[in-house]
Structure 1
């Protein structure tokens, strides 16, 4: 796995390319296999959805119908879903199988150099949204993980600390200012979130879309889906 692996958002259904060499490696039980030296911090069963956020609050989204296996490590977060169906949220497009993959299996990941912030919107079920910035566009790809309030808050704290430690300990990958280091030192601590709904993560690297179509394809008009509050695209909750 390359330290600066890209692309990140393969619309509408993946966070890593099906034909690259940087996606999650799975064992025979379809659990994520850590890389040499990679430390697993936690495993969860959560709902998963993907979003492309823009300043006009228009979003293209997908969601899997059931919980997936989520693994948090000191380098990334990975999810593996055994449901073979993908639901496109924005336009109610019929669910379709993911071509070129093992039947019934979908995967995705976010490496810790990418997230620019975490969001905890007031949704039911509770959700953690991991948001990234992208090159040459103001649209932001995001991964949403949903579950019980306690588990989602614990996951947010786990991700916050993992991202901060990853960036603080890799100066060759992330160039931090003194102010950014101070903020990340706070983020790496064990403190509770204390009602925070938006957590910035200094030192993020922008992600890159795989093709021109992902930048310029016209998305469908949003529909009345209540997975996120109205301010999702602009970062307001």
Structure 2
């Protein structure tokens, strides 16, 4: 499977495995199906892109062509991208109404998630045109390059989303002491991050207690960076039709 053939991966980095049973599941309307006990906190439509961050470079690995439905819960951030070219399309005969039923197929559906054990920091920036960008940055095993999910939209919405992600990540980690060993200073920092006080609207904010993501395979460590980000959806990758699945 090519590294960008499934939206669970940002560059070669693993955000979720294709055979992972905990990948985001969708209902018939392509909305996120919450896990038992999971609480929905908000839903937005935002532009989504994947980056690989190095000490001196910033590579945008991919970008979705249309705004995605972004769902925030107390456990994760999930996104689903559909569009006119991604919705139900007719068979060869073209008609799909009740009197002329024809075979239909599900075209490509793009989705992915970041669980709250992964983010190591948040980065918020604001453009001159009133738009903002939130980057959810993770650490990776055996490499200094960091995968990041970028969410872009109105500056006010992005600032509010960053605060909500900050509080959700902190609350998730404080409520699960078995997930990672937190030092007293890290725990104190997360208590502050979980508080209602508004954080900075620009710049970077650390999230102690993160767990690193990993590459999909050993070969991915040595794959050269692409000069141009691949277009999404790829036209040379066949669509996969699995009802109820995230891809």
> How would you bin the TM-score normalised by the shorter chain?
0.7 to 0.9
Mapped to 1, the partners of 2:40 and 2:200 lie a distance apart of 25
Q: Could you tell me how far 1:211 is from its partner in structure 2?
A: 1.2
Conserved 8 A contact 2:78-2:112: yes
Mapped to 2, the partners of 1:74 and 1:65 lie a distance apart of 27
Conserved 8 A contact 1:9-1:208: no
1:55 — aligned with what? Answer: 55
The number of equivalent residue pairs is 202
Mapped to 2, the partners of 1:146 and 1:160 lie a distance apart of 17
Conserved 8 A contact 1:69-1:80: yes
2:176 — aligned with what? Answer: 170
Conserved 8 A contact 2:137-2:149: yes
Q: What TM-score do the two structures reach when normalised by structure 1?
A: 0.78
Q: Could you tell me how far 1:222 is from its partner in structure 2?
A: 6.3
Mapped to 2, the partners of 1:160 and 1:24 lie a distance apart of 21
2:46 — aligned with what? Answer: 46
Conserved 8 A contact 2:122-2:137: yes
Q: Could you tell me how far 1:21 is from its partner in structure 2?
A: 1.9
1:23 — aligned with what? Answer: 23
1:108 — aligned with what? Answer: 112
Mapped to 2, the partners of 1:52 and 1:161 lie a distance apart of 25
Q: Could you tell me how far 1:12 is from its partner in structure 2?
A: 6.0
Conserved 8 A contact 2:47-2:151: yes
1:142 — aligned with what? Answer: 148
SS in 1 for 2:125: coil
- 1:134-159 Cα shifts (integer Å, max 9, x gaps): 00000100000010011100100000
SS in 2 for 1:121: strand
Conserved 8 A contact 1:46-1:67: yes
1:158 — aligned with what? Answer: 164
Q: Could you tell me how far 1:58 is from its partner in structure 2?
A: 4.4
Whether 1:132 aligns to 2:126 is: no
Mapped to 2, the partners of 1:210 and 1:50 lie a distance apart of 16
Mapped to 2, the partners of 1:28 and 1:222 lie a distance apart of 34
2:186 — aligned with what? Answer: 180
The verdict on how the C-alpha distance between 1:178 and 1:108 changes in structure 2, with shifts beyond 3 A counting, is: same
User: Structure 2 residue aligned with 1:202, among 208, 214, 220?
Assistant: 208
Mapped to 1, the partners of 2:171 and 2:57 lie a distance apart of 32
- Root-mean-square deviation (Å): 2.4
Q: Could you tell me how far 1:85 is from its partner in structure 2?
A: 7.7
Gaps of 5+ in 2: 1-7, 87-105, 230-247
Mapped to 2, the partners of 1:46 and 1:205 lie a distance apart of 26
Higher share of residues assigned strand: 2
Q: Could you tell me how far 1:182 is from its partner in structure 2?
A: 0.6
Q: What TM-score do the two structures reach when normalised by structure 2?
A: 0.75
Q: Could you tell me how far 1:191 is from its partner in structure 2?
A: 1.2
